Amino acid sequence: MTVKIKAYAKINLMLDIVNRRTDGYHDLFMIMQSVGIYDTVTVCENDTESISITCSEEGIPLDSRNIAWKAAEAFFVATGIRNKGTEINIVKRIPHAAGLAGGSADGAAVIIALNKIYDTKLSDDELCKIGVKVGADVPFCLTGGTMLSQGIGDILHKVRPLRRCHILLAKPDISVNTGYAYRQFDTFGKMHTPDKLGMLCAMQSRDLNQICDKMENVFEQFIEVPERIAIKEIMKKNGALGFCMSGSGPTVFGIFENKSDAENAAVQLKNIAKDIAVCRPVNRGCKIVE
Ligand code: ATP
């Protein structure tokens, strides 16, 4: 059996690191939004008893370091399924190491595909428990849409969907190592705490201006992305309601009411950012297409 899945990227409308836990993980407060750029992940069972990965993009590991591989392993461990011959093909469109959860989206897609292939009928909760072992963003990517994510990414609550808007993603030509980003927090701490209650109220009222006003990502306090200010200025000049960095960066996103404003900003960003996309919010993390 073969299952093909669209695995959507995410942005963080808010990201606060609440504290460092004694086990080394961090308690987070994130307002997550799935967006319409996606990797296509095809999962096929075979009788090789091993996992293999092919990927359209160079530089992505094709072995046990790949999040899709880790997800398949975690699924087989959790379900006790022994014949784990699995072929995974990833067509990458989500820029990697961008703060857009590209790897986590692929991991979530593999878990959903295997749940279907092996007819294991795992509940959302069970899928989430497998996902969090693979990465903090995987539980969100399994469900997607608009969510409040807390704990280490494993406590999820639905919030009201974002109103219709256009989202411009701009990733400068640098990569940020997420582990390094957290070590920076551990060393320097944060100087300002995002207004979490204000953001929840804004999400509840679905007021796009208020949401944009409250957007904040604490990683911006200690992760250096030299192009960030110029990107934000161009977004602002072209009518963005708000802008913020996603995840541990370096992608900066802007929220626009008009598509043409987002597209104009995209053109002006060509010399500053390497990967640029205009997309819309989507209401799911993964979509089975075949
Ligand atoms: P997040 O927003 O969850 O922190 P990210 O967008 O910053 O994620 P990813 O795209 O998930 O980062 O990639 C992070 C690293 O993981 C990359 O450097 C890459 O080498 C590795 N990686 C492993 N598996 C994958 C995958 N399937 N797709 C992309 N990167 C992967």
**pLDDT the model gives residue 28:** 96
Provide the pLDDT confidence category of residue 83 given band limits of 50, 70 and 90: confident
Ligand 1 binding pocket (C-beta < 6 A) is: 60-61, 65-68, 90, 96-104, 106, 137, 178, 247-248
The percent of residues in the chain predicted with pLDDT above 70, rounded, is 100
> How many degrees, rounded to 5, is the angle at CA 115 between CA 111 and CA 116?
120
Backbone angles phi, psi at 246, to 5 degrees: -105, 140
What mean pLDDT value characterizes the chain? 96
Distance 150 CA to ligand 1 centre (A): 20
Provide the pLDDT confidence category of residue 245 given band limits of 50, 70 and 90: very high
Question: Per residue in 50-75, pLDDT tens?
Answer: 999 999 999 999 999 999 999 999 99
Q: Whose CA is nearest to atom 30 of ligand 1?
A: 103
pTM confidence score: 0.95
Q: Whose CA is nearest to atom 12 of ligand 1?
A: 97
Distance 234 CA to ligand 1 centre (A): 27
Cis peptide before 250 (omega within 30 of 0): yes
Catalytic residue among 10, 84, 92, 214: 10
Distance 255 CA to ligand 1 centre (A): 24
Distance CA 118, CA 151 (A): 30
Distance CA 198, CA 217 (A): 14
Of 38-42, 47-51, 167-171, 257-261, minimum mean pLDDT range: 47-51
